[in-house]
Amino acid sequence: MNLRHLRDGRVIAAVLVVALAVVALLNAFAPTRSAFSAVITNSANSAATAPYFTCTAAVGADTTNALFAYKLTEASGSTTATDWSGKGLNGTYQGSMVAQTPSPNACPRDTGSSYVLNGSTSFVSTPKSYVNPTTFSEEVWFKTTVAGGMLVGFGSNQVSASGQHDRQVYLNTSGQLVFGSYNGTTQVVTSPKAYNDGAWHHMVATMSASTGMRLYADGVLVASNTAYTAPENYTGYFRVGYDTVSGWPGQPANFAFTGSMRYAAVYSTVLTATQVANHAAAGR
């Protein structure tokens, strides 16, 4: 063997040693597949399979037809529930407004707290009366462990218990959702299951002469009746969290809602099944 061949062999050997050392270092510092995780944070609507990433975006897409829309995220002690529909119809927190940020929260990608209602004096009154609204949708996120209490309704009195009251959604004594209207007799549709399980739920109730009554829970239609098309004809106020439900099927002992709420709105149109599903998906 001549000197040239010996030198070339040593060079090749040195290159192999260096290459093996690099591979060893890469293996030593490479993360295992099972230990790797990633978190994506995105406040826009682009990092989710749902059409909307936040409840603000989902409800905001339909506020053109909203009579009012309240996020119910004000601080404890607030008296005003800000209307962000663009109508300027701020609501009033009755009783003591208490705010908490539970975990999990409804609409977890939206900043802010939830409104805690005490089942006695807590509810939201609205500033404007409406003459016989016959086409409408009512919406709210809610959480409770109590079987009973009104979520959203329409009454002849702005603050006190109403003499005329219908177009209301309440929890009956079994914890089921009941959507009721009145036109000479009570007309109700009732969810098969109960919703006083302490989890967050999304509720939408719609009514019109062409569609009748529809009740959605968590983005899915759970009860309906196309024959119930006309509510009682009177002038009244929409209210959130309390009014009388005296005389209605499954009437609870306590008419005031006990639990937490977020994102309450009433619309002058019937939300479609797709719109309801989009609103619900944005809050998960």
Question: Which pLDDT tens digit goes with each residue over 223-269?
Answer: 999 999 999 999 999 999 999 999 999 999 999 999 999 999 999 99
Range scoring the smallest mean pLDDT among 18-27, 70-79, 114-123, 246-255: 18-27
Rounded-to-integer distance, Cα 278 and Cα 39, Å: 23
User: Whole-structure pTM over 0.85, yes or no?
Assistant: no
Rounded-to-integer distance, Cα 199 and Cα 201, Å: 6
Taking alpha carbons only, the member of 96, 55, 52 closest to residue 264 is: 55
- Residue 271 pLDDT greater than 50, yes or no: yes
Contacts 24+ apart (CB under 8 A), 162-168: 162/236, 162/243, 162/244, 164/232, 164/234, 164/236, 165/236, 165/243, 165/244, 165/245, 166/231, 166/232, 167/133, 167/136, 167/138, 167/207, 167/231, 167/238, 168/243, 168/245, 168/248
- Residue 3 pLDDT greater than 70, yes or no: no
pLDDT at 23: 42
Q: Residue ranges per domain, the chain?
A: 3-35, 55-282
pLDDT at 34: 40
Rounded-to-integer distance, Cα 258 and Cα 122, Å: 9
Rounded-to-integer distance, Cα 223 and Cα 217, Å: 9
pLDDT at 198: 98
Q: What is the mean pLDDT of the chain?
A: 88
Q: Between residues 212 and 19, which one has the greater pLDDT?
A: 212
pLDDT at 50: 76
- Residue 72 pLDDT greater than 90, yes or no: yes
pLDDT at 149: 98
Question: Which pLDDT tens digit goes with each residue over 156-208?
Answer: 999 999 999 999 999 999 999 999 999 999 999 999 999 999 999 999 999 99
Rounded-to-integer distance, Cα 179 and Cα 168, Å: 6
CATH architecture for the domain at 55-282: Sandwich (2.60)
Q: Identify the band that residue 49 occupies on the pLDDT scale cut at 50, 70 and 90.
A: low
